Amino acid sequence: MLKENGFAHTVIVIALALILGATLSVVFINNLTKQNQASNTSNPNNKTELKTYTSISGSGLTFDYPSSWSFEEPTKQLISRDDSKATMMILYSHKPSVVDGRGSISTSNICVTFNEMQGNWPFRSQPLSDSHKIADFSVGQNAVSLIESKKNLEASISPAMQIVNKDPSSEHGGAYVALNDDYFLLATAAKDCWIADDARKTNVTTEIEQAHEILKSVRVKK
The model's pLDDT over 18-44, given as tens digits with 9 standing for 90+, comes to: 444 444 444 444 554 444 444 343 343
Looking at the predicted structure, is the pLDDT value of residue 17 above 60?
A: no
The pLDDT of residue 47: 53
User: Phi and psi for 106 in degrees, rounded to 5?
Assistant: -90, 5
Model pTM score:
0.80
Contact 84, 118 (CB under 8 A): yes
Q: Does the residue 5 lie in any domain? A: no
Rounded average pLDDT over 92-110? 89
CA distance 135 to 71: 24
Q: What is the pLDDT of residues 116-135, one digit of tens each?
A: 999 999 899 999 999 999 99
Q: Does the residue 29 lie in any domain? A: yes
Q: Which residues have a Cβ under 8 Å from the Cβ of 115 and sit 6 or more positions away?
A: 9, 12, 13, 16, 86, 87, 88, 89, 185, 186, 187
Looking at the predicted structure, is the pLDDT value of residue 92 above 80?
A: yes
Looking at the predicted structure, is the pLDDT value of residue 206 above 50?
A: yes
Between the alpha carbon of residue 132 and those of residues 64, 103, 125, 156, 205, the distances in Å are 23, 31, 18, 17, 17
Q: Does the residue 212 lie in any domain? A: yes
Contact 134, 153 (CB under 8 A): no
Q: Which domain, by its residues, includes 156?
A: 14-36+49-220
Looking at the predicted structure, is the pLDDT value of residue 159 above 50?
A: yes
Beta-bridge mates of residue 144: 137, 165
Contact 8, 176 (CB under 8 A): no
Number of domains in the chain: 1
The pLDDT of residue 30: 53
Q: Does the residue 43 lie in any domain? A: no
Q: Does the residue 105 lie in any domain? A: yes
